């Protein structure tokens, strides 16, 4: 395919300075009515040196001494095309002065990206925002193989963008495995209708995270935050013995306190009580009493019932993962939506960290990472993996940062979704290979993102505050040519749309609106 269509030529190279090129444009509207010279458009500087692919970063008009208008177009170099027509980042030879410059249409851009290949790794997500620039396809392997960040202020379209990505994957790939940590109970609505047979939406009222799957640090972070070394050692010894009692004698030497083996927490509490009664002085009884107080306070708290929901069945980890990942042969599913909206705020970060660690260990112990690659969508990531190193978040930070640094080797990917990139762990963001940046209005967030984005985005990063809903700057491994994208509308939408006050206040509450039912659900924590 030619990347030098004469009806898409608009000027000649005037100056070359490292990675920046200035072009003198003869026209700003080519004879191809679909293409304009505008910021973000892709162009080819084509001459005897070869084909250099650039994006337009600035368009200006100046006047010379004769009051003639001079149209100047500044370009940022992205890469080059070799003799075989293959695109690569960087250039061996810079464009020459006076070589022709051609706008690229959507077909040419997708050809450069290799979208027309038959390997099936590209899927469609939307359209480029520039006129005539065509549909946008994303490389699935690189999107999920190297982690992705989806950033944008409230109302910019993060949830709809995530829904569009996941729905597009479901449409094009028959056997994906994606788990969404749904903090505000909004994604189950996006996977109804045609998606219900492929999705597994676990409501808060059905959510379970058995305590016997926890390692010692996770158990302490949940039941006894701030435990001293004495209490930690007591718990380690008692829990390890209780777990060993549950396996055959020939396997006991392989069981540790961190093994995901069932034990009854009521047995743990009973043993602590027995040991407390054997102590002769109050001073010696105090460590045991503190343990009892902490364990009972969580064990008797109805907000933490999700920890022991499956205690009677002594749920195994294999059964848990079969259900969590939709691997039941009789009723398979491919998207799991975990409604975490009912989690106590003080334990939410711990639970997200535990779930991430369980998924990491599951992938680690599968000797072939290609067997069942898994992607985790970390919605509202700033609320549990913040930049600050507070002890309240330390366990979750450690777990997710480990996934960010090592997960891709074992087929575990992250989609980090946040409205406050300035507040998210820099370790996690630095491991992301693709960035989808929607509208950002905070100066702190804009500056953080501008430092992350590559130089080839150029002046386009200055438009972050003015992007439309669902419009984003997309750059990184998953797209060879970075630029502005308008994502398709999801169908159906997640339950995250702005409330229409005018409609509600014009029509009043719906028939059957029941305050008693709301308060009853609130009291019993039955949010569905």
Does the pLDDT value for residue 528 go beyond 50? no
The pLDDT-based confidence of 30 (bands split at 50, 70, 90) is confident
For residue range 473-490, what is the model confidence (pLDDT) as tens digits? 999 999 988 889 999 999
* Confidence category of residue 518, pLDDT binned at 50, 70, 90: confident
DSSP per position, 73-128: EEEEEEEEE-TTS-EEES-SSPPPTT-EEEE--HHHHHHHHTTTSSS--EEEEEEE
Q: Each residue of 349-396: pLDDT tens digit?
A: 999 999 999 999 999 999 898 999 999 999 999 999 998 877 788 999
**135-208+315-477 classified as CATH 3.40.710.10:** no
Mean pLDDT of 34-51: 91
Q: What's residue 473's pLDDT?
A: 93
177-209 pLDDT, tens digit per residue, is 999 999 999 999 999 999 988 999 999 889 999
Report residue 323's pLDDT band, with 50, 70 and 90 as the boundaries.
very high
Q: What gap in Å lies between CA 457 and CA 312, rounded to an integer?
A: 56
The 10 Å CB-count burial string (b at 16+, else e) for 194-203 is ebeebbbbbb
Predicted pLDDT of residue 266:
96
Q: pTM here?
A: 0.91
Query: H helices of 306-421, where?
Result: 317-324, 345-364, 394-406
Give the 3-state secondary structure of residue 349. helix
- What strands lie across the sheet with 135-139, from one edge to the other? 135-139, 122-128, 483-487, 471-476, 434-437, 148-151, 412-418, 374-378, 178-182, 335-339, 199-202
Fold identical between 6-104 and 135-208+315-477?
Answer: no
Does position 144 have pLDDT exceeding 50, yes or no? yes
Give the span between the Cα atoms of 192 and 402, in whole angstroms.
33
Mean pLDDT of the chain: 91
Q: What is the pLDDT of residues 279-296, one digit of tens each?
A: 888 888 888 999 999 999
| Interval 145-188: pLDDT, tens | 999 999 999 989 999 999 999 999 999 999 999 999 999 999 99
Q: How far apart are CA 168 and CA 126, in angstroms?
A: 10
* Residue 484: strand pairing partners: 473
Domain boundaries, the chain: 6-104, 135-208+315-477, 212-306
- CATH code of 6-104, in short, is 2.40.30
């Amino acid at each position: 395919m030619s990347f030098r269509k004469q009806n898409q030529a608009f000027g000649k190279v005037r100056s070359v300075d490292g990675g920046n090129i200035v072009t003198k444009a003869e026209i700003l509207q080519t004879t191809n009515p679909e293409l304009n010279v505008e910021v973000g458009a892709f162009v080819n500087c084509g001459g005897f040196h070869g084909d250099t692919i650039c994006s337009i970063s600035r368009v200006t008009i100046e006047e010379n001494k004769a009051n003639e208008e001079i149209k100047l177009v500044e370009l940022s170099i992205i890469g080059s095309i070799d003799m075989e027509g293959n695109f690569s980042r960087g250039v061996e030879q810079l464009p020459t002065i006076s070589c022709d410059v051609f706008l690229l249409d959507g077909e040419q851009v997708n050809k450069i990206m290799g979208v027309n290949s038959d390997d099936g790794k590209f899927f469609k997500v939307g359209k480029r925002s520039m006129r005539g620039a065509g549909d946008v396809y994303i490389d699935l392997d690189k999107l999920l193989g190297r982690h992705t960040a989806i950033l944008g202020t409230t109302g910019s379209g993060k949830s709809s963008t995530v829904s569009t990505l996941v729905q597009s994957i479901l449409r094009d790939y028959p056997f994906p495995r994606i788990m969404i940590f749904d903090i505000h109970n909004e994604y189950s609505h996006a996977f109804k209708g045609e998606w219900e047979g492929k999705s597994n939406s676990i409501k808060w009222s059905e959510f379970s995270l058995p305590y016997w799957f926890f390692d010692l640090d996770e158990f302490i972070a949940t039941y006894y935050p701030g435990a001293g070394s004495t209490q930690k050692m007591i718990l380690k010894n008692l829990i390890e013995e209780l777990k060993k009692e549950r396996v055959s004698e020939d396997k006991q030497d392989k069981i540790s306190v961190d093994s995901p083996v069932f034990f009854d927490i009521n047995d743990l509490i009973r043993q602590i009580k027995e040991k407390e009664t054997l102590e002769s002085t109050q001073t010696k009884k105090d460590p045991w009493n503190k343990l009892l107080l902490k364990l009972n306070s969580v064990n008797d708290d109805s907000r933490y019932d999700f920890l022991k929901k499956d205690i009677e069945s002594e749920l195994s980890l294999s059964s848990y993962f079969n259900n969590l990942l939709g691997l039941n042969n009789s009723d398979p599913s491919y998207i799991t939506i975990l409604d975490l909206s009912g989690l106590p705020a003080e334990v939410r970060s711990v639970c997200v960290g535990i779930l991430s660690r369980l998924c990491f260990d599951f992938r680690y112990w599968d000797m072939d990472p290609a067997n069942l690659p898994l992607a985790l969508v970390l919605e509202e990531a700033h609320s549990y993996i913040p930049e600050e190193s507070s002890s309240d978040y330390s366990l979750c930070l450690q777990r997710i940062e480990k996934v960010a640094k090592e997960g891709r080797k074992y087929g575990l990917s992250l989609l980090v979704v946040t409205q406050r990139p300035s507040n998210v762990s820099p370790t996690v963001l630095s491991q992301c290979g693709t960035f989808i940046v929607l509208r950002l209005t905070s100066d702190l967030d804009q500056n953080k993102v501008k430092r992350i984005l590559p130089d080839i985005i150029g002046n386009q990063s200055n438009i972050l505050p003015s992007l439309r809903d669902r419009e984003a700057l997309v750059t990184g491994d998953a797209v060879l040519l970075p630029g502005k994208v308008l994502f398709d509308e999801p169908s159906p939408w997640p339950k995250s749309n702005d409330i229409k006050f005018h409609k509600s206040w014009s029509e009043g509450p719906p028939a059957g609106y029941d305050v008693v039912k709301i308060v009853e659900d609130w009291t019993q924590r039955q949010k569905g």
